[in-house]
Chain A
């Protein structure tokens, strides 16, 4: 649905986006992740034909952004970083105006205005002036205008910024609900957000692509090995337990995480491709201790993200 091929955007004396390529398939939600100034907004502006890339090209919904911008624009809904609102308009009037710009008319336009107002929870303020709305409502109106023409592709630049926790939750649900029929790219700083709603992530840092992968394999890739959390109930000393665990075949490292009342919590790292859970359990039980917990520990996206962007910065 979206195919980005080696796009770069250079400003005098400074490269904002440097040779980025990635692909997004139909119906996917992709999280666009990167620290401030990474080039997320710039990339999105290129995809929406707001500005052309300095080099490279992108294909959106089957059309090239340079050769056929009008067709691309017809198929894209875009929520810029600051919602593009006219303060002097009423909400319904504004949505009608945007609908007309996107080529809707007549009954269909009226129907769509009503539908998106409902969907984005702005129906109750439809007669209010945009300038009188709170930040959160403005953001929702911005989202409503992006989907008014039911576009194939949705590009959302920080859709949940400035919302309260309840609204963030609602907006995420809304975006998840839009997936499937729409292909969505959203940028964000909030990592749990990506974990919750995105199937894939594209991570960029200072203009360069750092990683693009599914959520799972990205987390796995960070650690060649799997990490297992083991909690043992025992009267013995921690050193003894640790030694015992280390001696299990396939275990590469054991770290004492916490000393509990009558026991210890460890993190056990295994060699790549080895399933050591069963052996660990047997070792603990054979030593006469109680195994109270045995679970895979996955790295939080936060850690993955920091690790990836940090290597990039130091490289």
Chain B
């Protein structure tokens, strides 16, 4: 446990001493701020119409919070490869992996420590969205539950992609390669359920089950379904397990 924390601290620190953390946070602040602004603008426009008697009553949760949370899910597809690409690729390129592997710590401690560090970085970025949404609570009283579950969903989905990204970063010395592969896999997993639109055989069902969107949506509505949580947790565990195994096999090949 101590070793995991040592590695995790070192990871967090290395994000924040380099420009990566600030660049990612700045980009995220602008993009998610824009999305929130658009959602709020749209909501205001519609609610003026609603007040004039067209359509039913308007709900902030339905019209602002949910779209914002869904959008964060999409932005994370772009963010996460940039967070994970350096995790192992950089250590392999610079040779510091030799220090980690020849230290008296276990492989899984290295992997989990790094993953937790990346998750902490991701959580820092997400907290900017919390600021955006906080404004809505200052001026109204939306239901807070979908916000809370939404964040849980974002963390779980992020954790999933981070664990896949960690694995891919361990397969190469090249950061750009690691990032590109992670982006490709994330994007595919995000869109897997498109299959069910025109196909309904077993394969389509499997792919739809693997779709991140399908598992994310309930969270944005304030619903925590154990089957979604199980899905995310299993992908995280599987990703970390594969990363640990590939760290082992790296030695047999190295």
Contact = CB atoms under 8 A, between A and B. Distances in A.
A48 B96 CA distance: 14
A74 B98 CA distance: 14
B99 A101 contact: yes
Contacts of A244: none
A51 B100 contact: no
Contact of B252 (A51, A76, A78, A101): A51
A107 B14 CA distance: 25
B1 interface: no
Interface in B17-56: 17-18
A145 interface: yes
Contacts, number: 70
Interface string A90-101: 000000011011
Given A86-B14, A101-B3, A48 B99 contact: no
A52 B252 contact: yes
B188 interface: no
A48 B14 contact: no
Contacts of B100: 101
Given A84-B94, A85-B96, A73 B102 contact: yes
A242 B39 CA distance: 105
Given A88-B13, A88-B14, 4 more contacts: A50-B98, A82-B94, A86-B94, A100-B6
Contacts of A45: 98, 254
B95 interface: yes
A14 to B, nearest CB: 13
A315 to B, nearest CB: 30
Contacts of A76: 102
Contacts of B254: 45, 50-51
B251 A73 contact: no
26 contacts: A50-B98, A50-B101, A51-B251, A70-B106, A74-B104, A76-B102, A78-B98, A78-B102, A80-B98, A80-B99, A81-B95, A82-B94, A82-B95, A86-B10, A86-B96, A88-B14, A88-B17, A98-B99, A98-B103, A100-B3, A101-B6, A101-B103, A102-B103, A103-B104, A105-B2, A145-B99
A49 interface: yes
B105 interface: yes
Contacts of A85: 94, 96
A101 B101 CA distance: 10
A98 B7 CA distance: 10
B98 A73 contact: no
Nearest to A11: B253
A84 B98 contact: yes
Contacts of A71: 104
A49 B102 contact: yes
B20 to A, nearest CB: 10
A102 B6 CA distance: 11
A9 B2 CA distance: 34
A52 B104 CA distance: 16
A80 B98 CA distance: 7
A81 B96 CA distance: 11
Interface in A250-297: none
Contacts of B14: 86, 88
